Amino acid sequence: MSYQHYFKLGQKLLLKLHKNAESNERTELMTAYVGSLENEALIISLSNPYGENITNQYPLKEVCKFEITTESMGLGVRASGTFLEIIDGTRFSIKLESGIEMFQRRLHNRYNCQLGIRFSRAAKTLHTMRTIWEKNLSVLYSPEAPLVYDNFKKSRINISSEGIRFAIKPPAEQGDLCLILVNIDDSKPPICAIAEIVWTCLQDDEVSITAGMRFINILSADQLRIEEFIKAKK
């Protein structure tokens, strides 16, 4: 199969990772770029915000399969592949499976509302941010976790199970990683996710920016909670 029709040098990809030791309890995504394509081997290049040595820090060898989505000829493109090997600190290879699916992109339900938010962007690499995320999940779901969560600032947001949009203080760049906690007032722990900034736009006050973010590490159960929250409000 001629994959060159669908994957070009430098093309942006979204990788969904499926771990050997984990079920579908989590959604884990990576933004990546096409480094090269040699027969059925797709060379993946990761962006700098993830860290200069991310392939050696992120547990890629635990990944058994990738779902790869991108855009080509005005349509969404979906392919599957298996992990081959780490090439260097920012590159690894995937063996593509036969078959390419073309599809119209599905719009996820989104909702404008005011919810309590906690937001941090202190960590600089995906490896560090994942460690912080894991620790937060352990605290939130421990028996000693408080029933009332303080220090959540009510913010005007737009939310879906795939991502979130709200105003933040600059600076912010595409690809920056953030830790976000959202209290949706459903008598359960706040939703905790790593988000990647996809786009930014200067607001009218010129002292803040609107940032659109994609959830790249989030519990699947939390995505379902967001969907149920939106469905109940609409």
How far apart are alpha carbons 135 and 186 in whole angstroms? 22
**Residue 84 sits in the same domain as residue 164:** no
Q: How much of the chain, in percent, has pLDDT values that exceed 90?
A: 58
Say if residue 39 is in the same domain as residue 147: no
Q: Are residues 163 and 221 in the same domain?
A: yes
Q: In angstroms, rounded to a whole number, what is the distance separating the alpha carbons of residues 55 and 29? A: 14
Q: What is the C-alpha separation between 7 and 152, in angstroms, rounded?
A: 43
Distance of alpha carbon 15 from alpha carbon 54, whole angstroms:
15
Q: Residue for token digits 């109940």?
A: 232
Domain-ending residue, one of 46, 73, 103: 103
Handedness of CA 64, 135, 58, 211 (dihedral sign): positive
In a shared domain, residues 82 and 189: no
For residue 153, the model assigns a pLDDT of 87
- Is 80 exceeded by the pLDDT of residue 63? yes
Return the DSSP state at 104: P
Question: Do 99 and 12 lie in a common domain?
Answer: yes
Judged by DSSP in three states, 62 sits in: helix
Domain match, 77 and 127 both: no
Q: Are residues 94 and 124 in the same domain?
A: no
Range of the domain at 39: 3-103
- The amino acid that residue 62 corresponds to is E
**Residue linked to tokens 């939390």:** 222
- CATH number, residue 117: 2.40.10.220
The confidence band for 32, taking pLDDT boundaries of 50, 70 and 90, is very high
Last residue of a domain, one of 76, 103, 130: 103
Whether the predicted pLDDT of 47 surpasses 70: yes
- Do 96 and 116 share a domain, yes or no? no
Last residue of a domain, one of 71, 103, 135: 103
Residue from 106, 199, 211 nearest 158 by CA: 211
User: Could you give the number of structural domains in the chain?
Assistant: 2
Both 42 and 119 in one domain: the answer is: no
User: Over the stretch 173-217, which tens digit does the pLDDT of each residue have?
Assistant: 888 999 999 999 888 899 999 999 999 998 776 788 999 999 999
**Burial of 12 by CB count in 10 Å (0-12 exposed, 13-18 middle, 19+ buried)?**
exposed
Determine the Cα–Cα distance for residues 213 and 195; give it in Å rounded to an integer. 6
Say if residue 21's pLDDT is above 70: no
DSSP assignment of 208-231, as one string?
-EEEEEEEEEEEHHHHHHHHHHHH
CA–CA distance, 49 with 54 (Å, rounded to integer): 10
